[in-house]
Amino acid sequence: MTRLELDTTIGPPRRLTTSEEGTIMDTQEIRSSFAIHANRRRIKEWILTKAILGATLVALGVLLYLVGSVLWDGLPYLRSEFFVNFPSRFPDKAGFKSAIYGSMWLGALTLVFAVLLGVSAAVYLQELAGKGRIQSWIELSIATLAGVPSIIYGMLGLGIFVRFFGMGRSVIAGALTLSLLVMPVIIIAAREALKSVPDSIRMGAFALGASRWQTVRDHVLPAATPGIATGVILAMARAMGEAAPLIMLGALTYVAFVPESIFDSFTAMPIQIYNWASRPQAKFHDLAAAGIIVLLGFLVICNSAAIILRSKWGAKKP
């Protein structure tokens, strides 16, 4: 019995037989060639390991330098005037007020539209839809939209909201465009969150005679909320940083007022930063850096909220 087992596992020794016949070097030679090889292998290993570490450090270094230089250039301009003044031809008088307000308006409206659209679509697709032709069209569309460059969304917004619906270059047109832009991101994140809700919860509710919608509304959605919120926050951070689609809508204008209704024209933080950065004078570049600090500060808050939410939620999951 024991010998039989040994026989079946004796692969390598059998190969040695062929080497004894002279087709390969004998074991002594093989070992010495291993020894010569070992040094080369050790050096190769060392180089590759350092190269990989180097790649990571390069990325971290660039990030540090980027943040550091922006802070260095921009901080001196972050005075109270910067927050209360409107843009100006004179860098010393120029401020960020209309851009901050414009971004707030855009952000708030986009949040409402994008969450409504994105979460509803995700709930429909993940919880309620069957597997029909329309569903596969929807899936295909979402996959396609997720890869469309943001400037093309701007062209869509220009054609549909600005011209066809006659909204002009208004806050609402901008917000609707940004909502469509981040909708695929929210749908994908929300579906992931819904997917991670264990099926036993649904079964438990169905077994009590709940309908699909009752089950989703009262049990699945609440359980998925932290995950959905994380996705929404990250999507909003993206929307707040987008300039290209807004520039397509024609938002790159001198705006020396704060929007008072959704039909007013507007500017936004990334647009104003672009405006300043594209001028040749160095002082405007420093203003751009100050604007970037404000924008990044906002995004950092968003992202940390998402990270905290994710870690708390991750800890709670069974």
Partner 1 sequence: MIHTHGSSILETRNLNIYYGQKKVVRNVSLRIPKRTVTALIGPSGCGKSTLLRTFNRMNDFIDSFHYEGEVLFEGSDIYRSRTDVTEFRRRVGMVFQKPNPFTCSIAKNISWGPRINGYQGDLDELVERCLRKAALWDEVKDKLNDSGLALSGGQQQRLCIARAIAMDPEVILMDEPCSALDPQSTLAIEDLIHELRENYTILIVTHNMQQAARVSEHTAFMYNGDLIEYDQTSKIFSQPTEKLTRDYIVGRFG
Partner 2 sequence: MSSSQRWAGVSAWQQWRERTVLRALFFCALISVLTTLGIIYILVNESVHFFAEVPVLDFVFGTEWAPLFEPRHFGVLPLVCGTLLISLGALVFALPIGLGIAVYTAEYAQGWWQKVLKPILEILAGIPSVVYGYFAITKITPFLQTLYPETEVFNAASASLVIAIMVLPTIASICDDSIRAIPKTLRDGAYALGARKSEVIFQIVLPSALSGILASFILAFSRAIGETMAVTLAAGATPQITANPFVGVQAMTSYIAQVSMGDVAHGTIEYQSIFAVGLMLFLMTLAMNLLSQFIVKRFARKYE
Among 78, 104, 152, 305, binds partner 2 (CB under 8 A): 152
Binding partner of residue 208 among partner 2, partner 1, none, CB under 5 to 8 Å per kind? partner 1
Name which of residues 113 to 172 contact partner 1 (CB under 8 A). 131
Which tokens hold the place of 132?
Answer: 């029909």
Residues 6+ apart with CB under 8 A from 236: 107, 110, 111, 114, 182, 302
**Any contact of residue 219 with partner 1 (CB under 8 A)?**
yes
Q: Position of tokens 């570490």?
A: 53
Helix (H) or strand (E) holding 33: helix 27-74
Q: What is the rounded CA–CA span in Å between residue 147 and residue 76? A: 39
The nearest distance, CB 43 to partner 2, in angstroms, is 11
Using CB under 8 A as the binding rule, the residues of this chain from 168 to 197 that contact partner 2 are 180, 183-184, 187
CA atoms of 306 and 308, how far apart (whole Å): 6
149 or 260: CB nearest partner 2: 149
Contact call for residue 210 and partner 1 (CB under 8 A): yes
Choose between 78 and 299: whose C-beta lies nearer to partner 2. 299
Q: Quote the least distance from Cβ 306 to partner 1, whole Å.
A: 21
Neighbours of 55 (CB within 10 A): 10
Give the binding range for partner 1 (CB under 8 A) out of 22-30, 105-113, 204-212, 303-311. 204-212
48 part of the interface to partner 2, by CB under 8 A: yes
Among 204, 253, 282, 297, binds partner 1 (CB under 8 A): 204
- The neighbour count for residue 202, using CB atoms within 10 Å, is 18
**Count of positions (residues) in the chain:** 318
Applying CB under 8 A, which part among 14-22, 58-66, 78-86, 192-200 lies near partner 2?
58-66
Work out the number of other CB atoms within 10 angstroms of the CB of residue 117: 17
Burial class (CB in 10 A: 0-12, 13-18, 19+), 44: exposed
Given the rule CB under 8 A, which residues bind partner 1?
A: 131, 198, 200-201, 203-211, 214, 218-219, 222-223, 318
